[in-house]
């Protein structure tokens, strides 16, 4: 396996060639090495560490220092997988502030930062500074207090139309990837077909250009209830490395997610 890290151009080429992109969250060096060795294409240092590492009920308490620390841990040992780091709650209130904070994640080893919502001017400014950006639409965990819960987004036609429009505007602003979380599979398929950039789904159906899951959910070691859109890849009982390999194959062969993991 190549020791050169994949780039955003490699992921874009995978979309053009019809190859599904497999992504998992990662938070430390040990799991980073296992994920990388399994051949997973991308790792997301997610602010989901607030729940799975810190035992909190949401991502809102995760700090920028937390994200920098875990990004350094993940990137210290990875050889191939593309690494994306989440920008935590209220670290991108305006373009300049976002750039200062995003630079710290890039300096910690991330190849791209991810931010939630229709922040077109922020995305445009970051890209202009040479910082690759991944957008995130649909369910936005950092807005959980406004949303009132972890609910499927884009069900109503007007809401679906807004997500489509926002996705197109994020691409126009320069985003190189888009994560769609908890949206109907039909909507995710439509967006994936319209956009040139890769669309990574989580609870968004099998027709996205790739899939991402929270590592602890798919290994069934999380402290909370596993979301419906996730799957326990440790059943039947296997070694962790085998579970990671099974996930990779299932994504590549379009065997995950199934309708049972979609909306």
Q: Is 196 left (phi over 0), alpha (psi -120 to 50) or beta?
A: alpha
Q: How many CA atoms lie within 13 A of 35 on its CB side?
A: 32
Q: Tell me how far CA of residue 259 lies from CA of 118, 140, 205, in angstroms.
A: 28, 22, 7
User: What H or E segment, with its residue span, contains residue 210?
Assistant: strand 210-213
Local structure of residue 61 (DSSP, 8 states): T
Q: Is 253 among the catalytic positions?
A: no
User: What H or E segment, with its residue span, contains residue 30?
Assistant: helix 29-37
The sign one gets for the Cα dihedral 53, 256, 240, 111 is negative
- Tell me the backbone φ, ψ of residue 40, rounded to 5 degrees: -60, 140
User: 19, 121, 172, 181: which is the annotated catalytic residue?
Assistant: 181
CA-CA distance, 201 to 207, in Å (whole number)?
Answer: 9
**Which of 43, 103, 99 minimizes the C-alpha distance to 75?**
43
Local structure of residue 141 (DSSP, 8 states): G
Active-site annotation, residues: 181
């Amino acid at each position: 396996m190549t020791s050169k890290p994949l780039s955003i151009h490699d992921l874009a080429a995978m979309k053009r060639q019809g190859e599904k992109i497999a992504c998992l969250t990662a938070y430390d060096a040990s799991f980073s090495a296992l994920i990388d060795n399994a051949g997973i294409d991308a790792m997301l240092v997610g602010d989901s560490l607030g729940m799975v590492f810190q035992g909190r009920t949401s991502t809102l308490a995760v700090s920028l220092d937390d994200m920098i620390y875990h990004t350094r841990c993940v990137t210290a040992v990875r050889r191939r997988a593309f690494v994306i780091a989440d920008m935590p709650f209220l670290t991108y209130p305006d373009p300049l502030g976002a750039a200062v904070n995003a630079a710290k994640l890039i300096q910690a080893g991330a190849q791209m930062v991810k931010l939630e919502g229709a922040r077109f001017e922020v995305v445009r400014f970051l890209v202009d500074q040479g910082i690759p950006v991944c957008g995130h639409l649909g369910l936005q965990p950092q807005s959980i207090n406004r949303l009132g819960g972890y609910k499927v987004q884009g069900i109503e036609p007007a809401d679906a139309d807004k997500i489509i429009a926002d996705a197109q505007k994020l691409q126009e602003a320069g985003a190189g990837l888009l994560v769609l979380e908890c949206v109907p599979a039909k909507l995710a398929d439509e967006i994936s077909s319209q956009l040139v950039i890769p669309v990574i789904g989580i609870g968004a159906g099998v027709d996205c250009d790739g899939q991402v899951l929270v590592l602890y959910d798919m290994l069934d070691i999380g402290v909370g209830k596993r979301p419906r859109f996730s799957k326990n890849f440790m059943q039947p009982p296997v070694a962790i490395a085998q579970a990671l390999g099974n996930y990779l194959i299932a994504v590549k062969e379009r065997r995950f997610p199934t309708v049972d993991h979609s909306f």
